[in-house]
Amino acid sequence: MSLSTRGNIFRSLAAAVSLTIAATAATVVSATATPAAAAGTQTVRLTTIGNTSAVTGYPTGWPDADSVFLGSAYEGFTARSFLTWDASAVQNKRIESATAHFHNPYSTSCDPTPWEVWTTGPITSATSWDVQPAWRELEAVSTETSCADTAVTADVTSFVRRAAAAKAVQPTMGLRATDEADYTAYKQFWSRKYTDPAKVPYIEVVYSTGVAVTEPHIDEGSSCVTGANRPVVDTTTPALNILVDDPAVTQVRADFELTALNGTVLHTAASASQASGTLVSAKVPAGKLANGGTYRWRTRGVSAGSAGAWTTWCEFTVDSSLDIIGADDVNETVPEELRDALGTYDQLAEANPDEFGYPDVTGDAIVVDVVTDEAADKAQALADGTLQAQPSTDPDANKAEEAAIEGQDNVAGVDMAINDVTLSRTEIDELRDEVQAAVVSTPALVAADVWKTEVDRDGGRIAVTMSDVTVPAAQALEQRFGDRVVLIDEKNQLPVDQASRLADVPLWRGGARIKIKRPNGTVNGCSSAFAWNITSTAPGMLTAAHCAPDGGTMLSWREQTMGSIPSGSRENYGSNGTVYLPNQKVYRGDMALANASAGIQGRIFRGPVSTTATARVKAMWSRRAQKGDQYCVGGSYFGEICGWTVGATSIDVYSSGKWKRNVVMSRLKTGKCTGPGDSGGPVYTVNSDGSVTAKGIFNGTHGGGSDSYGGEFDPCSNYFTDIWDAYYGFPGTLKTS
Amino acid sequence: MRTAAAALVLALTLAGCSIYRTSADLVGFRPGPGANEITVIYAQRPADAAGELEILSQDAEQVRVKVLYRAAGGAQDDVAVEREAVGELDAPLGMRTVVDDDGEIVRVVQ
């Protein structure tokens, strides 16, 4: 680390403040468009039309300074900056990329400390540290740092795209240090008021204009691919689809070309004009394709009489023997007047799953699938209003049948037909389990993105929905299940934000499985502990220091960036074990604090590894842990394990070849032990209302034998860092809800 | 002989070595690298010895696997690292399901 002298900070600030008095006219470089090297794209340079810095302790912003500032230079001086850009030149443009350039005359450290670019609300005359524009979207994190007045950059493509999409001609950008408690992260950038126009901020935008196409797909779903994983269709008249977009016009259309694999043209078509940004389709006429054949197609958009480039070729195979149905073709909507009746027959079938199949509706009648004569008799009795609980039937033990008996009025006057089938409801459910097991363990099905299964009540089979019905996927299901499954081709539209311990999403919670990508590229598997408010506007997340012994990037298990852990200031792991945090004289166990790149919530996952259940974090424990206290550990690899008892406090443990100083250790315990990957997880007690009280950050295990299960001869214990050490050692407080 | 064996066990234990092998938490699997091979990804602590893949059973429907390793002795940080173990099957994995020694499905990873 190389630090500039403290004097430079004051000289720089003095220059900035003096210019607030002697403000000069803004130097604005006009936006100019120039042909780009790549065909079809152009570049334009955006400049700022306003800026200010918000600084702690100052009642107003610094709107006329020749510089903008970010980060903390020393205690009591923290700055954030806001820049308003002239984005009129990118209206109605398709943004390919955008890079912000700032000349960086001063940094407290030449280390690549991270700084963030956000979309914020607008600057106003009241903008100051206490009255900041809303910090809306984190757009980029850059670690570029200069100590020699050279330019640093950040990829701000999403910032410019967001502005163009919103038709915002004067978007405002916020700049701040990722770690505002790290005095080495302070930076000064020249602003538009600086005297050298070559060093004022600018964004270089690469954009394209004209018509563009995306998402070419055939029939209901499928991707544009060639080779063995090409999609398969079950018709010789599929629909070819493309999304056509031109930001500058309102009407577009598409051209389509269909050929044999050898290039022989079989069909061309031009669609009618329709609204820009919508899906354009063309159905292949009968007689062009043959069963068993493999073909290719491509498309291009057309707007204002000008055609865009053709897409790459997309291949597909026709297999009429397959039964690929539309999502709306399975379990069609039940007429309202039959829903109560179907529900009642469903209750009867649910009560007797070995005797019934799944009832369905055909026309105006309920069709009840049965596999035994007894089931047929029961269905008829229900229809006749004479179904009664058998003497041997305890209604309390069969509430579904009891409900059917009580609902006999629902079926009165409704036609019912009995249908003999071979698969019972129990067997169909077992079949569904088998299909689901195959889906997660068969590469061809994983590649096809199978995302839904359901019982096709009419066919008594399992409907399997996938984004891409490929030949290998269809073959895999045919080989395993024959005609007991039917295929549905439908793009996966499920939101990906269904959070679980294994797949957390913003707003981040504790107790989730995380990855720490270290600076050397290696990856550690760990758990998040508790969300943490570093400041009122800076979210954080606690974990164990040995997960990030030299800092790193915190990722969710799906590798979405959760934040970053600065080395040294936000983790206390040294070459021999626990080290002091900067400017502290107390060892504080094994803990790390990430700067979260998105919001957090005061909740943790509770339950087994696969849980989606969360609990509210109510508070920190009212004191440090004491011998005899009970606690739970919520690691993401071994799940929630309770029943631990504090056996010793303020101890040093020699673990993994290093001394973990001032940690809390449990008594030996039999039963399930904690294990690898649980590090960093939450340690807590459960309150009577289901909320939890935070007690610490989990660190490691001792004992438990080869099966991670403590027996009489190999009990296990574990150790953790007291939550009060996080409170005393890191800035901020526990996030509660 | 019995005394010698006990002494060996005691010596190994005191040296921080487990004489028993630990069954690893399986993260996923993928077919290959060889035609008849399967690669299983598992989690363990950094100081643990590399694991070995055992094919417990295999038939037309299912392949049952587990990874065993010798865990490092003494107190350990509970950080997990992912490692891979390769095993040889009688035939290409094909469409068969892979399960662990508890019968839980192991997920395919790309």
Instruction: Report whether pLDDT(A491) > 80.
Output: no
Report pLDDT for B8.
47
Q: How confident is the model at residue A30 (pLDDT cuts 50, 70, 90)?
A: very low
Q: Do A480 and A521 sit in the same domain of this protein?
A: no
Report pLDDT for A6.
32
Instruction: Report whether pLDDT(A540) > 90.
Output: yes
Which of the listed ranges A208-222, A588-602, A701-715 does the model predict with the highest average pLDDT?
A588-602
Q: Do A477 and A503 sit in the same domain of this protein?
A: no
Q: Do A198 and A276 sit in the same domain of this protein?
A: no
In a domain, A634, yes or no: yes
In a domain, A1, yes or no: no
Q: Domain end: A494, A520, A548, which one?
A: A494
Secondary element (H or E) of residue A661: strand A658-666
Domain CATH number, residue A691: 2.40.10.10
Taking the Cβ of residue B102 and every Cβ of chain A, the question of whether any pair is shorter than 8 Å is answered with no
In a domain, A90, yes or no: yes
Instruction: Report whether pLDDT(A327) > 80.
Output: no
Q: Do A34 and A113 sit in the same domain of this protein?
A: yes
Taking the Cβ of residue B79 and every Cβ of chain A, the question of whether any pair is shorter than 8 Å is answered with yes
Q: Do A506 and A485 sit in the same domain of this protein?
A: no
Q: How confident is the model at residue B50 (pLDDT cuts 50, 70, 90)?
A: very high
Report pLDDT for A234.
87
CA atoms within 13 A on the CB side of A101: 14
> What is the three-class DSSP state of A450?
strand
Report pLDDT for A1.
32
Report pLDDT for A537.
77
CB within 8 Å of B97: residues ≥ 6 apart:
A437, A438, A441, A442, B61, B62, B63, B105
Give yes or no for a cis peptide into A216 (omega within 30° of 0). Answer: no
Taking the Cβ of residue B65 and every Cβ of chain A, the question of whether any pair is shorter than 8 Å is answered with no
Report pLDDT for A441.
80
Q: Domain end: A173, A208, A243, which one?
A: A208
pLDDT-wise least confident of A168-177, A436-445, B43-52: A436-445
Mean pLDDT in residue range A581-587? 90
pLDDT-wise least confident of A98-107, A259-268, B90-99: B90-99
A585-616, pLDDT tens digit by residue?
889 999 999 999 877 889 999 998 888 888 99
Q: State how far the Cα of A583 lies from the Cα of A576, in Å rounded to an integer.
A: 19
Q: Do A394 and A448 sit in the same domain of this protein?
A: yes
A433 → chain B, closest CA residue: B105
Altogether, the residues listed in chain A come to a count of 737
Domain CATH number, residue A260: 2.60.40.10
Report pLDDT for B110.
64
Q: Domain end: A321, A351, A367, which one?
A: A321
CB contact under 8 Å between A525 and B108, yes or no, is no
Mean pLDDT in residue range A475-482? 87
Q: How confident is the model at residue A737 (pLDDT cuts 50, 70, 90)?
A: confident
Q: How many residue pairs bridge chain A and chain B with CB atoms within 8 Å of each other? A: 117
**ipTM of the shown complex:** 0.71
Taking the Cβ of residue B13 and every Cβ of chain A, the question of whether any pair is shorter than 8 Å is answered with no
> What residues of chain B lie within 8 A of the CB of A698, using their CB?
78
B64-105, pLDDT tens digit by residue?
999 999 988 888 899 999 999 999 999 998 878 899 998 888
Taking the Cβ of residue B103 and every Cβ of chain A, the question of whether any pair is shorter than 8 Å is answered with no
Mean pLDDT in residue range B32-38? 93
Mean pLDDT in residue range A506-533? 93
Q: Do A490 and A501 sit in the same domain of this protein?
A: no
Taking the Cβ of residue A610 and every Cβ of chain B, the question of whether any pair is shorter than 8 Å is answered with no
Tokens describing residue B62: 């299912």
Q: Do A447 and A316 sit in the same domain of this protein?
A: no
Mean pLDDT in residue range A517-527? 93
Report pLDDT for A603.
92
Taking the Cβ of residue A705 and every Cβ of chain B, the question of whether any pair is shorter than 8 Å is answered with yes
Q: How confident is the model at residue A220 (pLDDT cuts 50, 70, 90)?
A: low
Q: Tell me which residue range forms the domain holding A228.
A: 212-321
In a domain, A326, yes or no: no
Q: How confident is the model at residue A706 (pLDDT cuts 50, 70, 90)?
A: low
Report pLDDT for A18.
35
Report pLDDT for A167.
86
Q: How confident is the model at residue A556 (pLDDT cuts 50, 70, 90)?
A: very high
Interface test mutation site (partner B, options A652, A656, A679, A714, max chain B beta carbons within 10 A): A656
Interface test mutation site (partner B, options A434, A441, A644, A716, max chain B beta carbons within 10 A): A441
Percent of chain A with pLDDT over 70: 91
Taking the Cβ of residue B71 and every Cβ of chain A, the question of whether any pair is shorter than 8 Å is answered with yes
Strand-pairing partners, residue A151, are: A103
Report pLDDT for A143.
83
Q: State how far the Cα of A174 lies from the Cα of A156, in Å rounded to an integer.
A: 12
Taking the Cβ of residue B48 and every Cβ of chain A, the question of whether any pair is shorter than 8 Å is answered with yes
CB contact under 8 Å between B78 and A675, yes or no, is yes
> What residues of chain A lie within 8 A of the CB of B65, using their CB?
none
Taking the Cβ of residue A437 and every Cβ of chain B, the question of whether any pair is shorter than 8 Å is answered with yes
Closest CA to A244 of A209, A281, A211, A283: A211
> What residues of chain B lie within 8 A of the CB of A591, using their CB?
none
Q: Do A201 and A161 sit in the same domain of this protein?
A: yes
Q: Do A230 and A317 sit in the same domain of this protein?
A: yes
Cα A347 to Cα A236, A333, A358, A390, A455: the distances in Å are 42, 19, 10, 16, 16
> What residues of chain B lie within 8 A of the CB of A544, using their CB?
77, 79
Report pLDDT for A559.
84
In a domain, A612, yes or no: yes
Q: Do A292 and A337 sit in the same domain of this protein?
A: no
CB contact under 8 Å between A699 and B20, yes or no, is no
A436 → chain B, closest CA residue: B105
Domain count, chain A: 4
Percent of chain A with pLDDT over 90: 54
Q: Do A86 and A156 sit in the same domain of this protein?
A: yes
Q: State how far the Cα of B21 lies from the Cα of A705, in Å rounded to an integer.
A: 9
A407-459, pLDDT tens digit by residue?
888 999 999 999 999 999 999 989 988 888 888 788 788 777 788 888 999 88
Mean pLDDT in residue range A658-683? 93
Q: How confident is the model at residue A471 (pLDDT cuts 50, 70, 90)?
A: confident
Chain B: give the shortest CA distance to residue A440, in Å. 5
Instruction: Report whether pLDDT(B3) > 80.
Output: no
Q: CA angle, A309 as apex, A306 and A310 as ends, to 5°?
A: 120
Report pLDDT for A532.
95
